[in-house]
């Protein structure tokens, strides 16, 4: 891992969660935790069952929303309609 600090269990859990989210680009994980895309892939490989890792890699490989440079301006952050209750 490219980071010199040890990640806590809760940080690892959050990184895995962010990596699974379709609209969270790898750049956000890097800004939040200091893990490059390849570091995140290594962490996912280590933390997941092999079959789950393969499914995740298939899902995110080439996905426009996982790479900020590939995203268009029309791709915003998704939210639940009931998130902003009045």
SS (H, E, C) 19-30: HHCCCCCHHHHH
CA distances (Å), 55 to each of 25, 33, 39, 44, 45, in order? 18, 23, 18, 11, 11
pLDDT digits (tens, 9 = 90+) for 16-57: 999 998 888 999 999 999 999 999 999 999 999 999 999 999
| Predicted structure pTM score | 0.70
Average pLDDT score over residue span 3-8: 74
Spans of all domains in the chain: 9-70
Q: How confident is the model at residue 75 (pLDDT cuts 50, 70, 90)?
A: very low
Query: Cβ–Cβ contacts within 10 Å for residue 19, how many?
Result: 22
Question: What percent of the chain has pLDDT above 90?
Answer: 52
Using DSSP, state whether 85 is helix, strand or coil: coil
pLDDT at 69: 61
pLDDT at 62: 75
Distance, in Å, from the CA atom of 67 to the CA atom of 86, rounded to the nearest integer, reads 33
């Amino acid at each position: 891992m490219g980071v010199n600090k040890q990640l806590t269990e809760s940080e690892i859990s959050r990184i895995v969660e962010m990596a699974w989210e379709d609209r969270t680009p790898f750049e956000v994980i890097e800004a939040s935790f200091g893990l490059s895309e390849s570091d995140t892939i290594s962490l996912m490989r280590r933390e997941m069952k092999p079959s789950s890792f393969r499914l995740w890699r298939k899902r995110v490989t080439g996905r426009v929303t996982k790479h900020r440079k590939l995203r268009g301006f029309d791709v915003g952050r998704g939210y639940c309609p009931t998130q902003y209750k009045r």
